[in-house]
């Protein structure tokens, strides 16, 4: 039965491991959607490591934006689509603007760009026959970011996560590798 799961947590909380393990146990035809871009050598190495961790039978779609449209075209016969992750998708949208603009950039511009991307993804979630696992960081539990750009990022990502949680059948929060069901219940693991 089709479902949408949102997996939240902090950095290195076990979000991706949780999603990959669920997929390995419950699906054979998987489309893995990677939103990371290799901006530096460290990121290139991380991306290569993540590729090696996925089964070779899974298809990969590298998409830094327009996720909904790209998944709709590329999902094919996938029974499960994993999106890893919304955090980097929002980062990619922020990266469209030079850093020096963030002190004066109208919040509404960034909010509109991100919410447009999330709306497009919501359409895909409803129209695509596959189930989804969407991974995102929960960045609102820490200290208030020092910079305006950091505060905008936290706020915009938090609202995107809220919207995706509302569109999801199940929502999990991972802490130290332990999943906690926030919406729905743990199934399949």
Residue numbers annotated as active site: 50
Alpha helix segments (H runs only) across the chain: 15-26, 41-53, 67-74, 86-94, 107-127, 148-167
What does DSSP say about strands 178-183 and 170-175: parallel, antiparallel, or unpaired? antiparallel
Q: Measure the CA–CA gap between 123 and 102, rounded to whole angstroms.
A: 30
Instruction: List all residues 6 or more positions away from 50 whose beta carbon is below 8 Å from its beta carbon.
Output: 16, 34, 36, 84
Q: Measure the CA–CA gap between 86 and 76, rounded to whole angstroms.
A: 22
Q: Are 5 and 133 in contact (CB under 8 A)?
A: yes
Q: Are 85 and 136 in contact (CB under 8 A)?
A: yes
Q: Measure the CA–CA gap between 63 and 56, rounded to whole angstroms.
A: 19
């Amino acid at each position: 039965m089709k479902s949408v799961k949102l997996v939240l947590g902090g950095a290195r909380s076990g979000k991706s491991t949780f999603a990959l393990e669920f997929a390995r146990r419950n699906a054979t035809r998987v489309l893995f959607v990677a939103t990371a871009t290799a901006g530096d050598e460290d990121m290139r190495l991380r991306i290569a490591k993540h590729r090696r961790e996925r089964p070779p039978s899974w298809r990969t779609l590298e998409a830094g934006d327009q996720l909904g449209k790209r998944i709709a075209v590329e999902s094919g016969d996938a029974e499960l689509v994993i999106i890893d992750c919304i955090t980097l998708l929002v980062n990619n949208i922020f990266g469209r603007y030079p850093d020096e603009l963030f002190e004066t950039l109208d919040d509404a511009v960034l909010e509109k760009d991100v919410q447009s991307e999330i709306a497009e993804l919501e359409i895909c979630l409803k129209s695509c026959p596959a189930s989804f696992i969407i991974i995102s960081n929960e960045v609102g539990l820490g200290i208030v970011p020092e910079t305006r750009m950091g505060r905008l990022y936290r706020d915009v990502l938090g609202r995107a996560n809220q919207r995706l949680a509302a569109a999801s059948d199940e929502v999990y929060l991972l802490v130290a590798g332990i999943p906690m069901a926030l919406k729905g219940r743990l199934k399949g693991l």
